[in-house]
Structure 1
Amino acid sequence: MAAAHGKRERRAYIGSFTTEGGPGVLVAAVDEDSGALTLVGGAADDVPDPSYLALSADGETLYAVSENADGALAAYRVTDDKPALTGPPVPVGAGPTHLCVLDGHVLTADHTAGSVTAVPLLPDGTLAPTASGTLRHPGVGPHPDGGRRPHAHQVVPTPTGDRFLSVDLGTDTVRVCALEDGVPVVRSETRLRPGSGPRHLALAPTGVADPSSPTAPDGVYVHVLNELTPTVTVCRWNAPDGPLEPLEEVPVLPAAPDGDAYPSGIVVSPDGRHVWTATRGTDVLSVLAVEGGSLRLVTTVPCGGRWPRALTYASGTLYVANQHSGDVTWFSVDPDTGVPALAGSVEVPAASCVVLET
C-alpha cells in the first residue's frame, strides 16, 4: 500500500534469537487496511539475541535486550529501514527477557540474574553508559522448573507512568515498584499460588478496568499469565502502591494438556472486553471474555506456527512471534467475539517479539 501524502507506512520491528539462526532486528511495513507485514529492512547482526524490543515515546529510538549470559541493553536509531546502533550496548543483569521505558530510564527484567536494572536515557534518547541502579529480587520458589530462585521475567509501566510492575517467575511474585533517583525500589509485593510461575501480565485498559463499576480506579484489574500452570490469575490492584489482591485463577486451555504447555504472552483488547494468551507446546491462542472482574475461557485457535513466544495487538490485528517455526503470523479479530482468524504470515527465523509504531 502506498504511503499517503509522502508519509511512509507504519513500521513494525521484529526481534529474534541470533544464536538460533535469527537475523537480529527486522523492520516491516504495516498495511493499514489489513495489518499485513512486509519486510523492508533490518539492523546489522551485531547484537546477539535481541529478544525483546521497546520504542521510545517519539518512535525514533528502539531499545533491545540482548538475552544472553552477559546481559546487555542496546539502542538503535530507527529513522530509516536500517536501524543503527547509537553506541555500545550497556551491561545489565544476566539473561534479560523484557524491558520498558519509564520516567527517563529503560528498565530491564533480568531473568537469570533475578533482578531489574535501570539505565538512564540521555536527552537525545540514547543510553547512558552505565546503569543507575539494580533491584535484586529476594526469595525462593517451590517449583523445580522455576529454578527455586528469583527469575524476573517482565517489567510493565503503569498507566500513570510513575510506577511499574515486576513479574518474577521463580518466586511466584508480582511487585509494585518505583524509581527513586534512578534506583528501582519495591513499594509492595504479592505472592501468587506457589508453583504457578507468573511470566507476563496485562493491565486492564484505562477507564474500562471494571465495566460493572464505572467509578473503579483505572487499571484496578491485572491479569497475570502463569507459565508453569496454564492459567491466568485475575488480581485487583490497590493503586498506586498497594499490593495486588488475587481474586481467581482461570485456565487458558479447555482441558489438561497431554504434553508440555507453557503460556508465554498475554494482551488485553483496548476496549477491555477480551484477553488473549499464547501457549507454547500446544501452540494455541486462547480467547477469554472479561465479565466484570472475572475471566471466562471462550475458545482456543491454532497460532499458525510453533512455539508462540509473544503476542502484540494493534488496530484489530493480533500478531504472534513463533520461535520454533520461524515466522510471524497475524490474525484479524472479530470485534464482538474476540476470536482471531489467521490472515497471513512472514518468515522470520527464531522470531521472538513484534513491536509496532503507535
Structure 2
Amino acid sequence: MSSDTRTGTGAAGSADSPADSDSGLSRRRFTVLAGAGVAAAALPGTAARAAPAVRPAYLGTYTAQPGGGAGIGLASYRPGSGRLTPTGVLGGVANPSFLALSPDGRTLYAVDERAEGAVTAVRVGRGAPEVLGSRGTGGADPCHLSVHPGGRFLFSANYTGGSVCVHPVGRDGTLGEACDVVQHKGSGPDPERQAGPHAHMVVMDPAGRYVLAVDLGTDTVHTYRLDTGSGRLQERSRATMRPGAGPRHLAFHPSGTHAYVVNELDSTVVVCDYDRRTGALTPGTPRPTLPPGTEPPERNYPAGVLVSPDGRYLYVSNRGHDSVAVFAVECGGAALRPVSVTPSGGSYPRHIALDPSGTLLFAANQKSGSVTTFRVDRATGGLSSAGAPLTAPIPVCVLPG
C-alpha cells in the first residue's frame, strides 16, 4: 500500500460554508426553536437553582434527506431518570451527522457532511447557542471529528475524500484555516465499499501523543504524531485489519494499553495491543459482535464502540440486528467475554454514547427516528430500558453533556 500524501495546507480552509465571510469566521446567531425547557438547559446558573439534575444533550442528523432535521437538535436529560426532553433546534448547519464538545464544554463542533466538506463551531453553555463559523476540511463528506485534549486542535475524517484534516482552535473556540490535510491511499476487496480510502474516525490516544485514523476503505488504522507547534501530522505506523473487515471506529481502554476496533463489514470487534511509547497498534483475533447462529433480518453493520469509564465493559451497536452487544473486559483489557445482547429500542443504532457518569447509555436509532436511553448496571454491565424513547428526525449522533 502506498504512503499517504498531503494536500493544500492552509488552502484547505478555502471551502468555507456560504454563511461565512471570505475574510474569516463570522459570528451570527441563528434562531433556536425552543420551549420553556431550553432556558434551563442553556443557562447553567438558572438550571442549577431550578433543576440541578438537568444536563444538556445534542443530536446530530441529516438535513438533506427526506424526513431529516433542520439542524443540530437540542435536548436535556435528567441523570437520575435518563429521560430525554427536546428543547429546540439550532439551524444553519448542514448535515451535522457527528458532534463533539471541547474539553471545557463551552464549544460544540459539528461536521458538515457534504461534497464540499466543512466543520462548524458553536458556542454553547451560556444563553442561546451561537454559531461561530465554519471551515472547509479539504475533502468530501466528513463523518467524524474529535478535539485535542488541550482544546488546541480539531481533527476531522473525510469519508468520501479519504483524508484526515487538522484545524487550529482559538482560545474562544473558533476555528482557523486547516493546517494539515493528509490523503490516504489504497483500497480493499469489497468493490462497493472499498474502492478507495474512506477515513471514518480520527482521535488522539489517551496520553495525547498520537493521532489515530481509522480507514474503512483500506482496512487500516494509521498512527500519526502531532506537531503541536505547526499542527501537522507525521505518520509513525500503520495497523492492518483482516481484508474486507472495514474498520469503522475504535475506543481506548482507560489504561491506554489496549484499543478496540469495530469492523463494519464483517461484524467483528478486535482487541489491539497499543504501545503508548511508539503509537503502534497490534491487532488480535477478531470476535463476532453477534451471538453464534444469529441471523439478522438484514445484513449487520456494527457502528459505535464504547468502553465504560472504569474499563470493565465494552459496548458495540449493531445496525441490522438492531442491538447493543455488551462484552466484559478482562485480563487488564487484553480480552473480551460476551455478556449480553440487548435490543436497541429502535432501528439501525448508528451511534451510542455514555453520559459522563457512565450510568446511562444513549442509542441513536437512525431509521426509526428515535433515541433510546438505557440504565447501565455498573456491576454486570447490563442494560435496561430507562423509559420511552425520544422521537427525533433521523438521529445519527447523540452527545450527552
Amino acid at match of 1:60: R
Q: Residues 349, 33 of structure 1: CA spacing in aligned structure 2 closer, same or farther, 3 A cutoff?
A: same
Distance 1:18 1:89 in 2: 19
Which residue does the alignment assign to 1:214? none
Q: Render the CA deviation track for 1:177-205: whole Å, top value 9, x for unaligned.
A: 12221122211110111111100011001
Q: Residues 329, 7 of structure 1: CA spacing in aligned structure 2 closer, same or farther, 3 A cutoff?
A: closer
Distance 1:52 1:194 in 2: 27
Per the normalisation by structure 1, the TM-score is 0.91
SS for the counterpart of 2:386 is strand
| 1:148 Cα offset (Å) | 2.7
Q: Residues 22, 176 of structure 1: CA spacing in aligned structure 2 closer, same or farther, 3 A cutoff?
A: same
> Which structure 2 residues correspond to residues 43-192 of structure 1 after superposition, within 5 A?
43-44=90-91, 46-80=92-126, 82-102=128-148, 104-128=152-176, 130-180=177-227, 181-192=230-241
Which residue does the alignment assign to 1:5? 49
| 1:334 Cα offset (Å) | 1.5
| Unmatched tracts of structure 2, length 5 or more | 1-36, 41-46
User: Are 1:252 and 2:289 matched, yes or no?
Assistant: yes
Which residue does the alignment assign to 2:6? none
| 1:65 Cα offset (Å) | 0.3
Q: Residues 82, 15 of structure 1: CA spacing in aligned structure 2 closer, same or farther, 3 A cutoff?
A: farther
1:317 to 355, 360, 365: 360
Cα root mean square deviation, aligned:
1.8
Are 1:135 and 1:185, in contact at CA under 8 Å, matched by a contact in 2? no
Which residue does the alignment assign to 1:210? none
Q: Residues 143, 240 of structure 1: CA spacing in aligned structure 2 closer, same or farther, 3 A cutoff?
A: farther
Per the normalisation by structure 2, the TM-score is 0.82
Distance 1:31 1:240 in 2: 40
Larger strand fraction of residues: 1
2:328 to 270, 289, 294: 289
Distance 2:126 2:72 in 1: 13
Which residue does the alignment assign to 1:232? 269
Are 1:319 and 1:328, in contact at CA under 8 Å, matched by a contact in 2? yes
2:258 to 208, 221, 224: 221
Are 2:123 and 2:173, in contact at CA under 8 Å, matched by a contact in 1? no
Amino acid at match of 2:190: H
User: Are 1:15 and 2:56 matched, yes or no?
Assistant: no
Are 2:116 and 2:136, in contact at CA under 8 Å, matched by a contact in 1? no
SS for the counterpart of 1:5 is helix
1:304 to 323, 329, 345: 345
Distance 2:128 2:168 in 1: 25
Are 1:250 and 1:296, in contact at CA under 8 Å, matched by a contact in 2? no
| 1:64 Cα offset (Å) | 0.3
| Unmatched tracts of structure 1, length 5 or more | 206-217
Amino acid at match of 2:141: G
Which residue does the alignment assign to 2:250? 201
Distance 2:62 2:127 in 1: 20
Larger radius of gyration: 2
| 1:56 Cα offset (Å) | 1.1
Amino acid at match of 2:246: G
Distance 1:64 1:171 in 2: 25
Q: Render the CA deviation track for 1:225-271: whole Å, top value 9, x for unaligned.
A: 00001110111011132421112211110135343100010101111
Identity %: 44
Q: How many residues align?
A: 343
Amino acid at match of 1:135: V
